[in-house]
Structure 1
Amino acid sequence: MRNLTDPPRPLAAGLGNSNDQTRRHNLSTILTLLAQDGAQPRAQLTRRTGLNRSTIAALVSELAERDLVFETAAPGGGTVGRPSPVVNPNGRIACLAVHPDLDAVVVGLVGLGGLVHGRIRRETAGVPTAEQAVALAAGMATELRRRHAGVRVVGAGIALPGLVRSPDGLVTFAPHLGWHDEPLADRMAEALGVPAVATNDAKAAAVAELIHGAGKGARNLVYLNGSRSGIGGAVFTGGRALGGAAGYGGELGHTLADPAGGPCHCGNRGCLETEVGVEPLLAALGRSAADPDELDALLASGAPDVRVELERQLDVLARSIASFIAAFDPELVLLGGFLGSLFDVDPERLRLRVREASFAAISEGVRIERAELRENLVIVGAAELAFAPLLADPVSLSASA
């Protein structure tokens, strides 16, 4: 089983090819453009792909026959001659998305184009085992399918805080969950009755931001996500996820941030996720927990003890970001989860510290921003990864679904 954080083609759709032998490639190109950029007139698809109008008409017709797209009339007025029909991705073709975490399991039902039909969160009494996560996910998936009976499910994506191996999706180590060598993708596929893929939750979030959020249009990106499970990361170069030899590429939370720092659960000292974390921030606030929106407001309160910890963490984060810029030469660094909250309190301090710690010739022009998508970020990303086989080959996968 492939881990689709290293997709069969770049996330961007690319250009079409007029050779008849590449019909499947052209179908893939059209469906990917629609799934990532939304409804478009046939004329716009013609311009974007470089294919002629008759070829586009034939491709759209075939995708419509397979129930993957549908056409609507163009908005009226202001055009000369017959307006070009608008081609829409069929959002009722959907994937399940599963996100196990420390205290809950979330399952979403996401249609082509990032349309979230529904989302259920079930809290757990403690950290769930892999078996409990599968059982909870199966029950929630059944409930979502019942609520949305007209939706056709073609796959499932699982995103979790841990190391997930390519190409089989084995969860080799999820330290915060206490999972070791769990064949989670295979178990979920059996329980849910559809093909399943598994990935790290930060990689899933990065995919969602690249396709539907603040990273749209970027080809070279570093994404960092902070949660109570630690800091996860993902790197995209040339539109492709950095996977590495075993699929662990982008594990940025366990890069060295401070040689004199505290011990990390991974066995080292001074890892980024050890030196930058939500727990010290909550402690400074006198809180044991806070939801994301509440955390934004609490961190912006300006309390002196909170400010000291905020500035310490921002400075550590800045040094790490400067190292990532030197290593990966991104055009954009995106911060999600509590790192986004941290950033929003004092974005200029972070940007200044990054510039101070960077090689100017490389860092000049790099943007640092907060991720746009919020509560649905991970489930949309997990679903997008599960859609990858369909987008790569609409013929074989839509026929067998």
Structure 2
Amino acid sequence: MTGSGVVAARLRVGSAPASLVLNAIRVGGPSVREEITERAGLSAATVNRQITALCGAGLVDERPDLVEGRGVGRPRIPLTLDRDRFCVAGIHIGARRTALVIADLGGRTLYSHAVRTLELCDEGAAVAVERLCARLAELAGRFSGRRLLWAGAALGGAVDAETGVVDHPILRWRGEPLGRRLHETLGVPVSVSEHVQAMAAAELLLGGEVVPQRRGAALFFYARETVGMAMIIEDEVHQPIRGAGSIAALPVDPGPLDTAAIAPLQSVIGTAALKAAAARLGVNDDAGILADARARVLGEAVAVMRDVINPDSVIVAGAAFSAHPRGLAPIQAAFDAASTTPWPLEITPTRFGVHVPESAPVAVALAAVYADPLAVTAGITAP
């Protein structure tokens, strides 16, 4: 951890023995030691040592009240994640809406609160960051019976993961020390991530698989007021050394969404673009002609990236994908028509639905906890 209290986000499945055992208990529900040993892929002796340490740290509980029956011999006592002792704090700063969230050790939201981002920005970026940090601290203070372990932040724009310094072009933020200010306000380590990578991390880490599966490569595509994509490769979200790339300028055929023959993707999928197109055409914002056009644009854009990357799966998130009256069906149809890769691929929606923005910073915070749970609960930041 740097002197600023910022720890670079590492968005991956942990591989240390304590991490593997905690994950086996976390996603498997009440489990006896033999089941945990099988899921974690470790020796019984190693699992027993880790369980002793995790119980001592308050991360795991033995639950004799869950023993089934009274068979012959010593009863096998199930173990569960202790969801009552710790929590993490998260903040997702969107172009229009900011989500503040407190979650338990399993990623379950304990409380969330949304504010309109622009209402906090009228006095400049520094004041906005100060207000957001104070609001998150106030929210965390409502859970004083729990120990706050970590804080995660996710937002669009450029993020320096090592320092927590961020740029947000839409909000006109430049060089804002978001990570440091969160650490100073909350008093815990902080990790900051680009928001689409953080959403992909939620799919990877909070999805609930009993055993993390080798999943090949997955393309995660987000579209709301902004657009972005991330890659999950095996058990890790790809984080380029120089920061996330951008698909905002991906050229698309906008059809009725714009008067230009070719337009940048981000300029034609948001609320403002739909309102402008509706006014020009003399129709309502939710008119079928506009919904169909946006579905086609999105399907074709995802197809382009699919053909370039050739992932094993495609996950989509954001209101632009979910707003069509027929759901993903017209987007899938446009995707199928545009993709030149010779085998079919079904687009799948995020498992978090409309709550994907609030899941993103929670995943950023818990990635650090899951990577080295014993070090984090001891108040030590792993290198």
Q: Out of 213, 228, 245, which is 2:241 matched to?
A: 245
SS in structure 2 of the partner of residue 339 of structure 1: helix
SS in structure 1 of the partner of residue 162 of structure 2: coil
CA–CA separation in structure 2 for the residues paired with 1:247 and 1:343 = 32
Identify which of structures 1 and 2 has the higher relative contact order when contacts are C-alpha pairs closer than 8 Å and 6+ apart.
2
| Per-residue deviation, residues 279-324 of structure 1 (Å, max 9, x unmatched) | 34456778xxxxxxxxxxxxxxx98971111221112112211121
Partners of 1:106 and 1:137 within 8 A in 2:
no
Partners of 1:96 and 1:110 within 8 A in 2:
yes
How many positions carry a matched residue from both structures? 363
CA–CA separation in structure 2 for the residues paired with 1:254 and 1:99 = 23
Counterpart amino acid of residue 39 in structure 2: R
Q: Out of 307, 314, 317, which is 2:298 matched to?
A: 317
Query: In angstroms, what is the RMSD of aligned CA positions?
Result: 3.3
1:346–1:391 Cα change, 3 Å:
closer
**2:307 paired with 1:336:** no
Q: Out of 196, 218, 224, which is 1:227 matched to?
A: 224
**2:120 paired with 1:141:** no
Q: Out of 378, 382, 385, which is 2:364 matched to?
A: 385
CA–CA separation in structure 2 for the residues paired with 1:101 and 1:127 = 12
TM score, norm. by length of structure 2: 0.82
- Structure 1 residue 157, shift from structure 2 partner: 0.6
User: What's the counterpart of residue 292 of structure 1?
Assistant: none
CA–CA separation in structure 1 for the residues paired with 2:198 and 2:109 = 15
CA–CA separation in structure 2 for the residues paired with 1:398 and 1:54 = 23
TM score, norm. by length of structure 1: 0.79
**2:298 paired with 1:308:** no
CA–CA separation in structure 1 for the residues paired with 2:74 and 2:183 = 47
- Structure 1 residue 133, shift from structure 2 partner: 3.5
Counterpart amino acid of residue 311 in structure 2: P
CA–CA separation in structure 1 for the residues paired with 2:259 and 2:80 = 52
**2:148 paired with 1:153:** yes
**2:22 paired with 1:27:** no
Partners of 1:103 and 1:126 within 8 A in 2:
no
Partners of 1:330 and 1:366 within 8 A in 2:
no
Counterpart amino acid of residue 94 in structure 1: C
CA–CA separation in structure 2 for the residues paired with 1:304 and 1:276 = 12
| Per-residue deviation, residues 169-203 of structure 1 (Å, max 9, x unmatched) | 321x3111111122211221112211111112222
User: What's the counterpart of residue 279 of structure 1?
Assistant: 272
- Structure 1 residue 97, shift from structure 2 partner: 0.2
Q: What does 1:1-400 correspond to in 2, within 5 Å?
A: 1-4=6-9, 6-7=10-11, 10-11=12-13, 13=14, 25-36=16-27, 38-73=29-64, 74-77=66-69, 82-91=74-83, 92-123=85-116, 126=119, 128=121, 129-171=124-166, 173-213=167-207, 218-228=215-225, 230-249=226-245, 251-258=246-253, 270-281=263-274, 306-342=287-323, 345-361=326-342, 364-400=343-379
SS in structure 1 of the partner of residue 34 of structure 2: helix
Counterpart amino acid of residue 176 in structure 1: I
Counterpart amino acid of residue 135 in structure 1: E
Say which is worse superposed, 230-239 or 131-140, in terms of deviation: 131-140
User: What's the counterpart of residue 296 of structure 1?
Assistant: none
Counterpart amino acid of residue 375 in structure 2: S
- Structure 1 residue 46, shift from structure 2 partner: 0.7
SS in structure 2 of the partner of residue 64 of structure 1: helix
CA–CA separation in structure 2 for the residues paired with 1:263 and 1:75 = 67
Counterpart amino acid of residue 142 in structure 1: A
SS in structure 1 of the partner of residue 228 of structure 2: strand
1:42–1:335 Cα change, 3 Å:
same
| Per-residue deviation, residues 335-392 of structure 1 (Å, max 9, x unmatched) | 222133245625333222212222233xx24220222314542233212212223322
- Structure 1 residue 114, shift from structure 2 partner: 0.8
Partners of 1:41 and 1:87 within 8 A in 2:
yes
